[in-house]
Structure 1
């Protein structure tokens, strides 16, 4: 009988040999530097993950940024900020360019540093020394100074919330030039120096007056300016009415503790705002953020918890309806139990990778009730979802399965075992497969995918990564798309790829097409 390892079938030979090991020790494929950088930018929060410390993640992100064209680094920073809505990684990439290509950094600066929080992140990263310098340098200093000088009063007051560094620290560093007496007074007030109070902008004058007599009306300032002051429930209610949609979502428990929701009228107002479709769209809310608010809101009134579920339905309404036979493979292994934004002392998110993976599956199932959902760890787990359940309910049922080892090829093998028809398969995982690893050759996942393709030549595969990892279990090709992150941009890419297949731009190509 012929040696089957020498005379392999065509479909086996089409599965390319893997050459590296992933963090879990399994056989894997190395990503191209551009693809790896894109993944790190879209998922990396510079916090520790299940397999990598924060320092390791930072060092590798800097290695990747040095390995690709400076223009691509700048475009990746823009994409990660504008489409991925990330914070730390875009600022890091921008800072890495300060020593390498100041012109690219400057061209991307205004599109990445779009608020005071991002400005302070940028300054903090530069001064840390981790990108190769401890001072701002002339060009970054000029850009930061110009941002402050061109910012509105409202932008500066919002930027002044937070430390390490504070806006006061930044102002002292770059010394912006005041355009008039009002701006001179405001700069002095922000850094804690004596100033002519009568020259301050009206909201600041009213705030100083309120601190002396807190019985008066609340000035129009971000609510954080009042959090340390003794306010009545009525005043907290007034603050709640002035909060942005995101601030309201993030501070529901604070409002509850301060008696706001003891008033049924305020509960009604909060429900109306939380379920405002236009406000949800403007807020660029991630579905996982709504899950976080829901999970942390045990003591909230029932109508508000219901409103968060309704908001989830609205936020995921734009998920495209996928045609044909759709399969969603959801990794529920133990490593997926790590926080989706990484471990951060004192501020670790309660939302896990598995929660986000489950949300993606539930969203697809919601808009494509016939989609088949296959949760897996070392094998495919049995679970029957009801498409009529809410996204939150379906996601909770999937996430409850979390635990066990990782065998990414398991759902592929199940589809081959049952000879299932597949038009589109969506894999959501951290790619740390080890249970199905081999000594050499193609990964088990690629071997199983080759069999699916032999049976379903039209089949396409989308691999969604939720963590910054340098390896993958599949090779990107005309029929295989790699994408990372947890924003609405992921669903946009899936829809285009499902419709156009190999004719659609790869993820890295889309980033490369961002104008500078």
Structure 2
């Protein structure tokens, strides 16, 4: 009970909580600007443990009304280019379109970077959630220009996907062809008669393959355009070398199922591609996507392929900065963290959970800082033996296999206090839904513990990485406390800037504001 008495004395000195989290426990509300940024970096417009997809959408739409076009533009670009998000940057772009913003062309060019983003943008605009169901003159012209400027390869890539399909979009905006091949391509795409001789070379080879005229050599197109017809083992082996790096990562079990890995030479070629440093960097793969691929590979996938994923992870985490002093990482392994990182959606839920991402971040820091302490927590700190000599994958899997109870974000700080530990940097990865340590009044237990820890470690800093868009934190933002939302590896860049005093008191928001249009 001594710790509870300690909390009561500390609450007098800590800042007062001004909100409650989804568990009804005291919390600190983010400013409207910070909350919107958090939702853009962590919101995937799917169901989460505490919030429905509709509630998230409503929150973004309502909060966006409070800000000018410039902030929304910077936030959309930061969310796409740095956090590598899809749905929320497309939503902000659609909001700017609905406002008739002069910044729309700049934002559109930097956010709508591929066919999937184009479909997202059109789907959002046509849904009416931004206040209108028509595309409007300026968005229509931007889409027309996107289609006119796209190469054959880009258009073929964009033709994969529905609701709306690329053909639907072409029918909506009626792009004016800039060359004979475009006229033939757009006609073919929407099912109208066309002069096949005018079609570009790769599209002609795709049609020939589908018609069985030249079925031995696979055309250089997205593999989903080829799988409508049965492929033999040799053709699947060809696909393994033609796929983009990201597509290869996502289809290892498919290749194994079609016998590609029965050939040792093919195993070596695929492993070499996966572990190619240049391709890993160019793919802009999320570290958690690599963890997902490694977790999901079946026994039919050779060990050499798994080892290549390990190597790819090392390259993907090269930007984890080196920090000085005593570092403690605290991944939340409680029950609410076992929900999918991108939320639930029927038929489209990620198998990777928030706890997997929290564990991955902890394992990545440990890999870079072998003397760092890792204190996973739920109701209390969970004892897990980790080794910095083990791979990031191994340690992340070990961390994610524990926990499942209630949430007490103050537990690791309590432990550090009890040990009179010397700390310089504490990184907490959570959904911030702490409730076991709630009090009826005053501050949060996390904030109170941090106040006392600061008395012993005046230069210490606390980083709270939030993985879900709930709008509150257990530690109030200030000079020594950083709250950052997101699950891309860019959070490490934000932490590095924070630790090295490169921004003011609104650390993460200043990072977003620094975007140059």
Match of 2:59 in 1: 60
Q: CA RMSD in A?
A: 1.6
Deviates more, 1:428-437 or 1:308-317: 308-317
Do the aligned partners of 1:460 and 1:501 also contact (CA within 8 Å) in 2?
Answer: no
Deviating above 6 A after TM superposition, structure 1's stretches of 4 or more consecutive aligned residues are none
Say whether residues 1:281 and 2:258 are aligned partners.
no
Alignment of 1:237 with 2:237, yes or no, is yes
SS of 1:327's partner is strand
- Residue 499 of structure 1 corresponds to 500
Residue 415 of structure 1: aligned partner? 416
Cα distance, 1:421 vs. partner? 0.8
TM-score, structure 1 length as denominator? 0.96
1:12/1:450 contact within 8 Å kept: no
Rounded Cα–Cα distance in structure 1 between residues aligned with 2:33 and 2:27: 17
Partner residue in 2 for 1:267? 267
Q: How does 1:295-310 map to 2 (within 5 A)?
A: 295-298=295-298, 299-310=300-311
Between the aligned partners of 1:33 and 1:160, the Cα distance in structure 2 is 38
Partner of 1:211: 210
In the TM superposition, what are the counterparts of 1:97-496 in structure 2 within 5 Å? 97-213=96-212, 214-298=214-298, 299-496=300-497
Cα distance change, pair 502–176 in 1 and its aligned pair in 2 (3 A): closer
Shift of residue 357 of structure 1?
Answer: 0.3
Instruction: Report if the CA contact (8 A) 2:210-2:226 is conserved.
Output: no
Deviates more, 1:429-438 or 1:302-311: 302-311
**Matches of 1:447 and 1:112, distance apart in 2:** 41
Give the match's secondary structure for 1:461: strand
The alpha-carbon distance between structure 1 residues 502 and 122, as it changes in their structure 2 partners (threshold 3 A), is closer
CA contact (8 A) 2:47 2:344 kept: yes
Distance in 1 separating the partners of 2:174 and 2:323: 54
Q: 1:44 matched to which residue of 2? A: 43
Deviations 1:182-211 (A, max 9, x none): 111000011111111000001111111112
- TM-aligned CA distance change 1:329 to 1:202, over 3 Å: same
Residue pair 1:90, 1:112 contacting (<8 A) in 2 also: yes
Structure 1 stretches of 5 or more lacking a match? Answer: none
Taking structure 2 as the reference length, the TM-score comes to 0.96
For 1:69 and 1:419, how far apart are their aligned partners in 2? Answer: 47
Q: Report the Cα distance in structure 2 between the residues aligned to 1:447 and 1:34, rounded to whole angstroms.
A: 25
Structure 2 CA distance for aligned equivalents of residues 158 and 468 of structure 1: 31
Alpha-carbon separation, structure 2, partners of 1:103 and 1:24:
42
SS of 2:320 mapped into structure 1: coil
How far did residue 314 of structure 1 move?
2.2
Distance 1:334 1:283 in 2: 32
Q: Secondary structure at the match of 1:328?
A: strand
Residues 1:409 and 1:277: Cα distance change in structure 2 (over 3 Å): same
Distance 1:476 1:406 in 2: 21
Note the alpha carbon deviations across 1:316-352, whole angstroms, 9 max, x for none.
2321121101011111100000000111111211110
In structure 1, C-alpha distance between the alignment counterparts of 2:370 and 2:486, rounded to whole Å: 24
Which region of structure 1 is more displaced relative to structure 2, 98-107 or 443-452? 98-107
Larger deviation, residues 333-342 vs 123-132: 123-132
Q: How far apart are the structure 1 equivalents of 2:193 and 2:259? A: 36
Query: How far is the alpha carbon of 1:13 from its aligned partner?
Result: 4.7
Q: In the TM superposition, what is the alpha-carbon distance from 1:107 to its structure 2 partner?
A: 2.5
Per mean C-alpha deviation after superposition, the further-off stretch among 424-433 and 31-40 is 31-40
Determine the C-alpha separation between the residues in 2 that align with 1:308 and 1:131.
41
Contact 1:73 1:93 in 2 (8 A): yes
Which whole-Å CA distance do the structure 1 matches of 2:253 and 2:191 have between them? Answer: 31
Distance 2:12 2:515 in 1: 36
For the 8 Å contact 1:478–1:502, the answer to whether it is kept is no
Deviations 1:466-507 (A, max 9, x none): 111111111111101111111121111112222227658611
Distance in 2, Cα, partners of 1:419 & 1:139: 61
Deviation string 1:288-321 (CA, Å, 9 cap, x unpaired) is 1011111111231121122112221222232112
Q: Distance in 2 between the 1:257 and 1:67 partners?
A: 52
Q: CA deviation at 1:14?
A: 4.6
> Which range moves more in the overlay, 161-170 or 41-50?
41-50
Q: Deviations over 1:66-117 (max 9, x none)?
A: 2222211111110010001111110011111222242122321100011111
CA distance in 1 between counterparts of 2:275 and 2:248 reads 12
CA distance in 1, matches of 2:129, 2:136: 14
2: CA distance, partners of 1:424 / 1:233 = 52
Unaligned runs of at least 5 residues, structure 2: none
Q: Which moved more, 1:53-62 or 1:212-221?
A: 212-221
Moved more, 276-285 or 309-318: 309-318
State how far apart, in whole Å, the 2-side matches of 1:196 and 1:216 are.
Answer: 25
Deviations 1:219-246 (A, max 9, x none): 1111111011121111111111111111
